[in-house]
Structure 1
Amino acid sequence: MAESKVLEAEAKATPSRSNRVSTSSRGGRYFLRVLLNHVPGKTSFEDLRTVDGVLCDSFHEVVERLGLIEADNMLDESLIESTQLAMPASLRRLFATILVFCEPGDVRDLWDRHLEAMSDDYRRSHTCSKAVEQMVLLDIRDMLQSMGKDIALFPLTNIDETYDTTRGEAREVTEESTIEVDAHDIALASSLNHEQRLAYDEILTTVDAGDGGVFFVDGPGGMGKTFLYRALLAKFRGEGKIEVATTTSGVAASIMPGGRTSHLRFKIPLSIEDGASCSFTKQSGMAKLLRMASLILWDEASMTKRQAIEALENSMQDIMGRRHQPFGGETVVFGGDFWKVLPVVKKGSQGQIIDATMRRSYLCKGMRQLRLITNMRVHNDPWFADYLLRVGNGTKETDEEGSIRLPQDICVPPTGDGVDLEKLIDHVFPALDHNMSDPNYMTSRAILSTKNDNIDKINTRMIERFQGEEKIYHSFDSAKDDPHGNYAPEFLNNLTPKDCLRMPSN
């Protein structure tokens, strides 16, 4: 589903004016406006009210059927679709997310419709329907608590605490202590190179000593940082210890065993200033998890603002009761690559962006630097590995305009005849027509760009090449704190990302 956008209205930025924009509170006129902006070629009001040959009773019904406004049936369809792909635990998390962020109109009906799918794993080992329902409720209660919500706020079945088998253990601790260690990850320690082994042993010694320490694993992409992290996590988790693995980005978190984004895991405020703290208390499950952790890992820390890292330290000093020790005396390992994207500072100057990096934090001086300089990803091509180092370090020669010339053998030469993009697609996706249904083929290659406009152009052309009927999804865009309807829906629809997502049916 296309991502929705919410525009935050700035205080005193927009003067009041005559309201000529129809809003949803105006009923039929608003839904007619939505239709006229999305459905072309209609010749009459009756034609506008016709969907797939069926005449609807109202414009409201039409926009609901076409998916142009948010409705409870869409949440229902989302859960139905997820049932075909996701495990019951993932369905329970999706249900909790819907309760918190989507404000369904009939929570009880949604619960009754999807309880069976959400409880499938519990029903295999329990025959009592009440016990099964209670276990699902307890799971969802814990998920809601991690999002800062109380299950009592929602019209669901009352919880019977006698079915709680966690004996009061915090959900965060239970989740971390039950992470299974992959046998492949256990064997990684024996394959570490010299630099990785030095870092591994130093971190291991610090954790075993229990005195705490702060490290920064510094290395460009391909140097084996993730390999090192997985070896460390497997070592400690294999010994029954609790580790907390986080990254700045969701993509990196997905390849880290038990990984979460740092903002989600540590409850770091999105809008953060100097001196801030994380949004968890001393009595919370998060605080208990951090006190029990042998190692806290934060990858891609170079991409986050220093204030976020300092907020974690402030909170850890508070919950550990050790105000004069970095991170309350815990062992914390940061990792990153300062060649990559630096922290995003809205409309910030170069100086402001640099000031936001962790290199400008008072914590940086006390971090032990662990350097990885051997490129494991292209170890069979030492020339290219050296080339990447020279580019990243700024020592590669440039032309008179300061540009770096790429080697011809890694370029698709431009011809200027309007088909350069087609040639690039053919080069990266050879024989696309015959392989578009092969998931291994599609996920093993990608075209990257530094600009969203180029990405949109490439995606549009790729989708046009796919066979089958095109499916179109629309987002639901709204402006916060805009009771007078100053922001027309079509204006919000045209903000990036666009409200229309086109996908091939296969």
Structure 2
Amino acid sequence: MNLVYTPDMFNQALIILEDKAFEMAGKDLEQLGLPIPQRNLGDRLGREMLRETSYDVNELDKYVSANEPLLVLDQKAAYNAILDRINRKTGGIIFLDAPGGTGKTFVINLFLTKIRQQSKIAIAVASLGIAATLLHGDRTAHSTLKLPLNLTHCEAPLCNISKGTGEAKVLQECELIVWDECTMSHRQALEALDRTLHDLRGNGKHMGGVVVLLAGDFRETLPVIPKGTMADELKACLKASYLWKHVIKLELKTNMRVHLQGDVSAGHFAQQLLTIGNGKVPAEPTSRLISIPDNFCNVVESIEVLKSNTSSREKRISSSISQHVPSVIPHRNDLKKEFYSLTPPDHLIIPS
């Protein structure tokens, strides 16, 4: 049998490949260096909406039922406040101030699941790829929102999303946009999203009337401005945006490591970090440097001493995992193996 392959057959095969690539990696064939299939508008609209609505409602129900009771008081207050704004369709920009260890990722994932449980669209983005892997259905802000590469050189930048596209349809229908690690993003990125949502949703309210949840910690990460001064960094910060005065601030304060494990030393260390991050440690007048307590970190005199301490550090972490991981977590005995499999050899940690 001689099968004659037609251009339509090749095109359909490319569409199938691209759908699978988009499902698995969030990339189209052009981004993967392959030929681009010819699609009609209905295909494109359907693919974007499918990505944001194809969730197993039964699994979402189980996740919400299992995790809502685990919220502590400050997490529950933030959770209810944001859900109330979504349900009343009041919109607004909310900043969740969440120092490390306060359960930010847990709370955000519960937000996302709760909204999707109600068959609504919740978009999750992050300022960097590592953070994007921690949230359910998350991608980077530049990829999802199509932020311009020359963002800082535009007077009034817009996201590269046109009306009538699948991306536009998703932004028009969504109830919540979560932007994790937002503090390291340039203020122009947030302003570009605001202008784009005004246009796409035909709504003059901030962010086009949708609830935008910004999450992060200004004590940890700020925008990086190549060859910039401290003044340049402050100018690029979200707090310098004209939108910031309209932002509603919520806080997470409970350190979950202390709350769940009763680790007093971890609580003391967390408080030291907050004291430094909040600028409450006085600086030396001439050098403008601060002094930190002797027990704040371990100081070694040479690379050789650091190398010799590496194995003991790994053993302490492994021991902590064995002692404190709750028994309800399946495959908990594999965690130690996974830790060691992720630990690079000594020659990769410290060059000889």
TM-score by length of 2: 0.76
Map of 1:189 onto structure 2:
68
Pair 1:185–1:373, CA change in 2 (3 A): same
Counterpart of 2:226 in structure 1: which amino acid? K
Pair 1:265–1:412, CA change in 2 (3 A): same
Counterpart of 1:270 in structure 2: which amino acid? L
Pair 1:347–1:456, CA change in 2 (3 A): farther
**How far 1:427 sits from its partner (Å)?**
2.7
Counterpart of 2:292 in structure 1: which amino acid? R
CA RMSD of aligned residues (A): 3.6
Map of 1:218 onto structure 2:
97
Map 1:171-250; keep pairs closer than 5 Å. 171-180=47-56, 181=59, 183-184=62-63, 186-250=65-129
Larger Rg belongs to: 1
How far apart, in 1, do the equivalents of 2:14 and 2:28 lie? 20
How far apart, in 1, do the equivalents of 2:166 and 2:94 lie? 25
Q: Is the 8 A contact 2:181 2:216 kept in 1?
A: yes
Map of 2:300 onto structure 1:
414
**How far 1:407 sits from its partner (Å)?**
4.2
Unaligned regions of 5+ residues in structure 1, if any? Answer: 1-128, 432-437, 448-454, 462-506
Deviations 1:446-493 (A, max 9, x none): 99xxxxxxx9973545xxxxxxxxxxxxxxxxxxxxxxxxxxxxxxxx
How far apart, in 1, do the equivalents of 2:268 and 2:36 lie? 64
Map of 2:324 onto structure 1:
none
Counterpart of 1:173 in structure 2: which amino acid? M
SS in 2 for 1:268: coil
**2:144 corresponds to 1:254:** no
Counterpart of 2:149 in structure 1: which amino acid? L
Map of 2:269 onto structure 1:
384
Pair 1:411–1:305, CA change in 2 (3 A): closer
Q: Is the 8 A contact 1:186 1:231 kept in 2?
A: no
Map of 1:404 onto structure 2:
291
TM-score by length of 1: 0.55
How far apart, in 1, do the equivalents of 2:100 and 2:31 lie? 41
Map 1:229-308; keep pairs closer than 5 Å. 229-272=108-151, 273-308=154-189
SS in 1 for 2:257: coil
**How far 1:343 sits from its partner (Å)?**
0.6
Counterpart of 2:300 in structure 1: which amino acid? P
**How far 1:371 sits from its partner (Å)?**
1.3
Counterpart of 2:189 in structure 1: which amino acid? A
Q: Number of residues paired by the alignment?
A: 311
Map of 1:442 onto structure 2:
340
SS in 1 for 2:256: coil
User: Which stretch has the larger CA shift, 331-340 or 389-398?
Assistant: 389-398
2:241 to 361, 364, 370: 361
SS in 1 for 2:255: coil
Unaligned regions of 5+ residues in structure 2, if any? Answer: 1-8, 317-335
Pair 1:340–1:319, CA change in 2 (3 A): same
**How far 1:385 sits from its partner (Å)?**
2.7
Map 1:26-425; keep pairs closer than 5 Å. 133=13, 136-137=16-17, 139=19, 149=30, 154=35, 169-180=45-56, 181=59, 183-184=62-63, 186-272=65-151, 273-322=154-203, 324-379=204-259, 380=262, 381=264, 382-396=267-281, 402-408=289-295, 411-416=297-302, 419-425=304-310
Q: Is the 8 A contact 1:378 1:385 kept in 2?
A: no
User: Which stretch has the larger CA shift, 189-198 or 241-250?
Assistant: 189-198
SS in 2 for 1:377: helix
Counterpart of 2:187 in structure 1: which amino acid? R
How far apart, in 1, do the equivalents of 2:258 and 2:97 lie? 18
Structure with more of its chain in helix, by fraction: 2
SS in 1 for 2:123: strand
